[in-house]
Amino acid sequence: MRDETVKLRLEAAGEATERPISIAIVAMGGQGGGVLTGWIVQLAENAGWAAQSTSVPGVAQRTGATIYYVEMMQPRDGRRPVLAQMPTPGDVDVVLASEFVEAGRSILRGIVTPDRTTLIASSHRTFAISEKSAPGEGIADNGAIDEAVGVTAEHSIIFDMNALAVANGSVISSAMFGALAASDRLPFGREAYHDVIKAGGKGVAASIQAFDAAFDRARSGPAQPVPEDPAGPVIAPSALAPGAQPQDDGHRLPEARPRGRGALDVAALFHRIDTWLPAQAQPLARAGLAKVVDFQDPAYGSEYLDEVEAINAVDLAAGGTSHGFELTAQAAKYIANAMAYDDVVRVADLKTRSARHGRIGEEIGLRGGQLFATTEYMHPRLEEVAGLLPARLADWLGRHPRLSGWLDRRISKGRRVRTYSPGWFIALYVMGGMRWLRRSSLRHRQETAHRRDWLALATELAPENYELGVEVIKCQRLIKGYSDTHARGQSKFARVTAEIRQIAMRDDAAQWARRLRETGIKDGEGGDLDGLIRTIRSFD
C-alpha cells in the first residue's frame, strides 16, 4: 500500500488591506473604563465601521487595572475584517490610562511605542495598597514615568483629567473621551462623539460638559501662569478655606482654627516663625505649627516653636548657615510629627470631621439626595485607653495586674462601629473633644520623655558631626501609628539610636546611621535590622 500525501491549496483571500485602528484602555474599577470602551465601539459602529472590544480584568486591589482593547476597521466589499482580541506590542495606536502609574505600567508592558502610539493619560494619582502600606517611602516615582513617556510615546496628552471631570460634575471617562477626540487619531468629528454620549441617556449634560472641557484643554495646552505681582504673591479668595488667612508661601491656618483671642495667638505664632527662624525652615515650620495647633491648641503650638527655636540655636552654633539650616528644617518637620501623635482622641476626632465624610462621599461618587453609611472595625487595647488616663491613675492601674487584665478583656473586644449612626457618632465626637485630658495623661508623659531624649541626642551629636545630627532627627520616621504599630516603631527607634551612639565617633557615622534608619523602616518588609547591626559590630 502506497502512502500518499494529500496537499490542499488555499486560495489567497486577496491583497492585504490597511491595518485596523487599535486602542488600549487601562482603568481601575469605578473609573468608567467599560463605559468608555462602549462609547468608542458605538462611535465606530455609528460610522459604519466594524468594531470589537475585549477586556481582561485585574485582580485584587491595584495589582493590575482592567485592560480594555478595541479594534476598529472599515469593512471592504461587504466583508467584515477579522480583529484581534488583545493588544500586541508595537501595534497599538492609542493608549488611554485613567491614572498616571497605570500609564507607566502600559509602558512596561510594551504597548506604548515611539513610532506609533499616542498616550492619553490622567496625571493624578490613586495610591495602590502597596504604596499606602509600605513602612517607608513607598510611593511610585512620577519622575521616572515622565522620562519614560518622553522616550516611548510618539505623542502624549497628559493632564489631570480626574480633577477636570469632577469640576464639571462628571467622571473621568468623559474627560478621557474628550481627550481622545482632541487627539485626531480617529477619523470622526466632534459631533459624532456628542451623539454617542447623548445616546447613553444618563448624566448627558455633565458628561458633555466634561468632554468639551477636556477637548479644549487637550487642544490648547495648560493655562498660562499669571505673572507675579512685584508687590507680592496674590492668593485668590476662592483658594482659601473659610476663615483661613493667606500666608506668604500658601500655607493656611488649621481647619479647626480658634476664634477670638485664640486666633490672635495663632497669628502671633506664625509671625514668630517669620521673625526668628531661617527662611529655609519656615515652610516646614508653618506646616508643622498648623498641624500641632490643630492637634491641641495655640499653647501647644507655642511649645512646638520653643523646641524648634532651641534646635535652631544649636544649628547656628554648629555652622548651619553653610548647610542650609538642614537641621532646623528637618526638626520643624519631625518635631511636629512627634507632638501630633496618634491617640484615641485624635482617631475619634479625625473620624467625625465633616471633611472626612465629604471625602468618602466624593470617592464613592455620592450624588445629591443619596446617603451612605460606614461600618468600621475597632479593636482598642487597654494600653490606648489607659494612655488617656491621668498619669498617676494609669500608674496605679499598672500596679494592679488582675484589675488591668479584667479591664483589658472587657475593652479589647472587637466592635463593628457604624460611624455615622447617631449613637456612635455622638460617642466618637465626645471622645474627639477630650483633648483637654492630654496634657495630664500617661501617653503625653511618655511622648514628652521620648521627644526630649531624642532631641537631646541630636543636639549632642550635631556640633561634632552636623550630618549625623540631621540623621538622628530623621529617626523619628521610625515611629508612627498607635497600638502595636507604635510599640514596634518605638522598639526599632531605641535599637537604631542605641547603635548610633556606639558608632558616633566614626567618620562614616552619618552614612551608617542613614542605613540603620532606612533598614529599620523596612524591617520585616525587605529589611534586616538585626543583620545590619551585626555587620556594624563586626567592624570593631
- Asked whether residue 473 falls in the same domain as residue 526, the answer is yes
Domain count of the chain? 3
Please check whether residues 56 and 154 belong to one and the same domain.
yes
Assess if residue 451 is contained within a domain. no
Using CA atoms, how far apart are residues 63 and 105, in angstroms rounded to an integer?
11
Same domain, 86 and 136: yes
With contact defined as beta carbons under 8 Å apart, do 538 and 499 qualify?
Answer: no
- Domain end point (choices 185, 220, 255): 220
Tell me which H or E stretch contains 478. none
Instruction: Give the tens place of pLDDT for each residue, 191-211.
Output: 999 999 999 877 899 999 999
Do 269 and 186 share a structural domain?
no
**How far apart, in whole angstroms, are the C-alpha atoms of residue 288 and residue 218?**
38
Name the residue with cell 468594531: 51
3-state SS assignment for residue 223: coil
pLDDT digits (tens, 9 = 90+) for 419-432: 888 888 898 889 88
* Together in a domain, 198 and 245: no
Which domain, by its residues, includes 504? 467-537
Task: Confirm whether 331 is domain-assigned.
Answer: yes
Phi and psi (nearest 5°) for 443?
A: -65, -40
Contact between residue 482 and residue 384 where contact means Cβ atoms under 8 Å apart? yes
Quick one: pLDDT at residue 135? 62
What was the pLDDT predicted at 136? 62
Q: Write the single-letter amino acid at 98.
A: S
Range 377-390 average pLDDT: 77
Within a 10 A sphere around the Cβ of 448, how many other Cβ atoms?
14
> In terms of DSSP bridges, do strands 155-159 and 66-73 run parallel, antiparallel, or are they unpaired?
unpaired
Q: What pLDDT sits at residue 33? A: 81
Confidence of residue 64 (pLDDT cuts 50, 70, 90): low
Cell numbers standing for residue 343? 491617640
Computed from CA positions of residues 274, 278, 282, 283, in that sequence, does the dihedral angle turn out positive or negative? Answer: positive
- In angstroms, the CA 471 to CA 331 distance is 10
